[in-house]
Amino acid sequence: MAIEVSDLYVFIKSKLDELKEEYWSETDIFLAINIAVSDVFSHTLDIYEEMYLKQGTVTATIDNKEFDLPARTIYVSSFCDTELPDNEVDYRPKWTTAQTVLDLNKDYFIGGSNGEKFVLKTASTVNDTIDIWYKQMPAMVNDTGNSIDLPNILWHPIVEIAVLHAKAKDENITPELAPLISAALRKVRGRLAELGGKKQQIKAIM
């Protein structure tokens, strides 16, 4: 389930100094939310392979090698659990039609002209799509009607860190901000690590 920005907005605003409310614009609060989301996501995305993993496709065209990844992609999985029968957990890229597996570094790599392309070692001989499992940085929010594509378990950590960023303006706590945020991020990372899963195999392309 997604996190509703309207809920975050109301709760964070309730934590700010009402006497200074006149200088709190919506932009200030959305900025605090976006920074908090980025902090939490970036600090936890590599805990487990399955963390934030979603399925998508890359469109491949004949005689070309470089293809666009989904917007804001920061990681493409190449994980396959060979200890399970029939590779039951297999996140490796596959040609959609033939379901042929593509192996990292042997058949493809992530890079290209801007560092964010799916690049085949040999030009495609077909027009087809490639099924991938990937991680995607959440889109920035700027309206209470927006939602954040992250699990609800992250609601409280996002609120906690957003309020810290907000109070840096509200209470001039900027010098103390870094250790407080680091402590909050360590706490949420530890909480998520307790859920269990396969360790992420390769680094994100951030």
Whole-number pLDDT of residue 178: 82
Is-contact 127 60, C-beta < 8 A? yes
Query: How far, in Å, CA of 11 to CA of 180, rounded?
Result: 19
- The arithmetic mean of pLDDT across residues 65-73, rounded, is 94
The tokens 């040999």 sit on which residue? 122
Q: How large is the average pLDDT for residues 179-185?
A: 90
β pairing state of 128-136 and 73-76: antiparallel
Supply angle C-alpha 149, 194, 148, rounded to 5: 10
User: Could you tell me which residues come within 8 angstroms of residue 16 by beta carbon, excluding any fewer than 6 positions away?
Assistant: 24, 163, 166, 167, 170
Give the side-chain half-sphere CA count within 13 A for 68: 3
The number of residues in the chain equals 206
Q: Please report, for the chain, the start and end positions of each structural domain, with discontinuous segments joined by +.
A: 3-47+140-193, 54-136
Report the distance separating Cα 84 and Cα 88, nearest Å: 6
**pLDDT for 202 beyond 90:** no
Return the pLDDT at 23: 67
What is the predicted pLDDT for the residue at 206? 45
Q: Is the pLDDT of residue 84 over 80?
A: no
pLDDT of 145 over the 90 cut: yes
